[in-house]
Amino acid sequence: MTDSATAVAHANIALAKYWGKRDEALALPATSSLSLTLDAFHATTTVTPDPDAGEDTGTLDGRPMSDGEVVRVRRFLDLVRSLAGSSLHASVDSVSTVPTGAGLASSASGFAALAGAAAAAYGLDLDPRALSRLARRGSGSAARSVFGGLVVWHAGTDDASSFAEPVPGGEAGGPLDPAMAVVVLDAGPKSISSREAMRRTVETSPFFPSWTESTEVDVALMLDAVRAGDLPTLGALAESNALRMHATMLGARPPVRYWTAHTVGVLDQVQALRADGLPCWATIDAGPNVKVLCAGRDLPAVAEALSEGGTRRVVTARPGPDLRVTAGG
């Protein structure tokens, strides 16, 4: 029970987005969502329960966690402790290859790894679905990082029914062969957290009801496209879903805008690449960066075109693996 445990989880990028909660306390989303777990970015987290510790402590990439970060980790550990019937505090040490806070889904891999490591360290025996539900309580999108490849997160109506599961067909080299070029325009922290921006959108955007309705339809159509091995349909749906999410937040009061002029420039480039016969589709999260979906065989050409002669950082990614607990527990 006091052994430490380590877990590794990979980042995911949503093709049908999660944007808005129906229940903040339980982290129940307003809609289902669909994502691709990426091999290029991951978090490795070690949880060490300590009978002598008077409080939870933590480090992130070797530096002490900020007060806000510790509060969020402590709340999550409180949940794990209540499930495990433990009162032990712990140290949490996490190292991430995802730039934090830049809309590159660092909280997804971070909280999925924390869920895996904390569950093992506190002796909880959870199956992947239960781990996904637990990770969801740390950060919604973390529910999806428990699984590799393509993943659907069912919105559900309560804690038990809101979980993610893998969608067959997302394997590298399969008929769909999904891959992503991540154009890193700004790896700095964002102006407003996705949590806060999401809340504001739910409360003030007149577009929010139609966002939730249309996203449920998108998820169903995307699952059809995956079953049919139809990447162009999946890509077109993903691009329109992302643009609609940003339109919905632009409708909030005050408006939420993560795009910069460079973001729009990449959208133009993606459109031009398609017109030139290179199929690829853009998606954007809570930051200025653009992630470009394409077939694995087209990834080198897409990445090369977007890097503008090597002057811009483009990270190439293929489908990543499931969460794995590597030590301890």
Query: 15 or 273, CB closer to ligand DP6?
Result: 15
Query: 4 or 31, CB closer to ligand DP6?
Result: 31
Question: Contact, 17 vs 138, CB < 8 A?
Answer: no
What three-state secondary structure class fits 326? strand
Closest CB 162 distance from ligand DP6, rounded Å: 12
Query: 19 or 211, CB closer to ligand DP6?
Result: 19
Closest CB 33 distance from ligand DP6, rounded Å: 5
Closest CB 196 distance from ligand DP6, rounded Å: 9
Angle at 204 between CA 109 and CA 198, to 5 degrees: 0
Q: Which residues bind ligand DP6 (CB under 6 A)?
A: 14, 17-19, 27, 33, 105, 107, 139-141, 194-195, 198, 285-286
Angle at 218 between CA 303 and CA 284, to 5 degrees: 35
Question: Contact, 228 vs 234, CB < 8 A?
Answer: no
| Residue 124 Cα distances to 116, 134, 234, 265, 274, angstroms | 10, 11, 37, 48, 48
Q: Which residues contact 239 (CB under 8 A, 6 or more apart)?
A: 270, 281, 282, 283
DSSP 78-109: HHHHHHHT---EEEEEEEESSPTTSSS-HHHH
Q: What stretches of 99-184 show up as alpha helix (H) in DSSP?
A: 106-121, 128-138
Query: 48 or 141, CB closer to ligand DP6?
Result: 141
Closest CB 242 distance from ligand DP6, rounded Å: 9
Query: 195 or 200, CB closer to ligand DP6?
Result: 195
Closest CB 125 distance from ligand DP6, rounded Å: 25
Question: Contact, 2 vs 50, CB < 8 A?
Answer: yes
Burial 111-125 (b: 16+ CB within 10 A, else e): bbbbbbbbbbbbbbe
Query: 138 or 296, CB closer to ligand DP6?
Result: 138
Closest CB 309 distance from ligand DP6, rounded Å: 30
Query: 13 or 305, CB closer to ligand DP6?
Result: 13
For residue 319, the 8-state DSSP code is B
Closest CB 144 distance from ligand DP6, rounded Å: 7
